[in-house]
């Protein structure tokens, strides 16, 4: 028996990508806290700008990578028998994430008077805002997310179905907006 699936609307796509944004923001927060607590042993601090457990720069960065590199990721670019598509995607991730991090540092400095990281201890840094070492790590992380996590999240949202995706996105949006209001208006 053939069952006709409902057609995905623009609103459904926005809901789906908002869920991706939140997932990557939370994963970014976990990554940042892991580095701070386990790797550097500095102790815990909320690594996000907002109250909740998410770093929105990771969410925005992930969406930008999805929209800008998914076309390249699907291409089969070769030198002889060797596929260089993953290498080109990696280079794209490094460039894009470095630009996002640099822009994010300026936005945070403009809105908060500071940014939350300092890369002056790393070689090949620019004003402590970006550095080669973290950019390479973001390249590796971006490959993990584009080639492993994003396909998993796409399957998850398909399996949930449009109605559940809409509901999940709405709940997450309400929580996110409440957090923004609390952080910027009430907490001051």
Kindly report, residue by residue over 107-122, the tens digit of the pLDDT: 888 988 887 788 999 9
Tell the residue number behind the tokens 């076309």, with chain if given: 71
Grouping H, G, I as helix, E, B as strand and the rest as coil, residue 41 is: coil
In this prediction, residues 15-22 reach a mean pLDDT of 97
Distances (CA, A) of 4 to 1, 7, 82, 126, 157: 10, 9, 41, 54, 18
Pull the structure tokens for residue 170. Answer: 């709405």
Which residue's structure tokens are 């950019």? 135
pLDDT tens, position by position, 171-185: 999 999 999 888 888
Of the pLDDT bands very low, low, confident and very high (cuts 50, 70, 90), residue 97 is: very high
* Degrees, nearest 5: CA angle 30-142-120: 70
CB 165 within 8 A of CB 15: yes
Dist. CA 7–CA 43, nearest whole Å = 48
CB-CB neighbours of 174 under 10 Å: 10
Is residue 188 classed as helix, strand or coil in its secondary structure? coil
Please work out, in degrees rounded to the nearest 5, the angle formed at the alpha carbon of residue 121 by the alpha carbons of 118 and 127: 50
Q: For the whole model, what pTM was predicted?
A: 0.84
């Amino acid at each position: 028996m053939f069952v006709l699936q409902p057609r995905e609307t623009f609103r459904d796509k926005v809901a789906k990508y908002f869920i991706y944004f939140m997932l990557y923001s939370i994963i970014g927060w976990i990554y940042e806290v892991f580095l701070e607590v386990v790797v550097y042993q500095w102790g815990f601090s909320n690594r996000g700008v907002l109250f909740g457990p998410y770093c929105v720069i990771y969410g925005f960065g992930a969406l930008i990578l999805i929209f800008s590199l998914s076309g390249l990721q699907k291409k089969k670019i070769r030198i002889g028998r060797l596929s260089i598509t993953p290498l080109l995607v990696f280079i794209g991730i490094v460039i894009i994430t470095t630009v996002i991090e640099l822009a994010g540092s300026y936005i945070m400095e403009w809105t908060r008077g500071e940014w939350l990281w300092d890369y002056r201890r790393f070689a090949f840094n620019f004003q402590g805002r970006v550095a080669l070492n973290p950019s390479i790590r973001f390249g590796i992380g971006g490959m993990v997310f584009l080639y492993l996590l994003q396909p998993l999240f796409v399957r998850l949202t398909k399996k949930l179905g449009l109605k559940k995706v809409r509901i999940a996105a709405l709940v997450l949006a309400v929580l996110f907006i409440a957090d923004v209001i609390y952080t910027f208006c009430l907490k001051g």
